[in-house]
Amino acid sequence: MDRSKQERARRCCLERLLFELEQFGVTEIWLESRRATQDRRDMRLIDSARDKRLVSQSTAVNFARPTGDAMLWIPDAVAGAVTAAILGESRWLTAMSEVITRHSVSVR
């Protein structure tokens, strides 16, 4: 994807993820902290998702650094498996197929 659209694509994916987590009844979400300005932008997106009722007002959203919490590495591993499958190497995605759901997201 063109670098100029990556942040927008991330925001579209995060909005969909918030909706999906809400459907599963998740009440606490941890996001990887990037820079303070990007974290504030993510919080504005979360506030917007709350206004749209995509995620509950009571759902806690926190930030952490991946060096402090190895669980934050999981999304990168899943994204890597999906990318590898798109490029023709599907064994990693196949190994995860029973525990993940893949959605297509349109970047508006």
- Does pLDDT of 3 surpass 80? no
* Residue 107, domain member (yes or no): no
* Residue 91, domain member (yes or no): yes
Three-state DSSP state, 95: helix
Considering the chain, what percentage of its residues have pLDDT values greater than 70?
A: 99
Q: Which of 25, 34, 27 is nearest to 75 (CA)?
A: 34
The pLDDT of residue 1? 66
How sure is the predictor about 9, in pLDDT bands with cuts at 50, 70 and 90? very high
Mean predicted confidence (pLDDT) in 4-17:
91
Q: Contact, 75 vs 32, CB < 8 A?
A: yes
- Name the domain count of the chain: 2
79 and 51 part of one domain:
no
The pLDDT of residue 99? 92
Tokens representing residue 32 in the block: 């990887």
* Residue 54, domain member (yes or no): yes
DSSP structural state of residue 73: G
pTM confidence score: 0.82
- Does pLDDT of 28 surpass 90? yes
**pLDDT tens for residues 30-77?**
999 999 999 999 999 999 999 999 999 999 999 999 888 889 999 999
54 and 80 part of one domain:
no
Tokens representing residue 35 in the block: 């820079």
User: Can you give the residue range of the structural domain that contains 81?
Assistant: 67-102
- If you compute the radius of gyration of the chain from its CA atoms, what whole number of angstroms results? 15
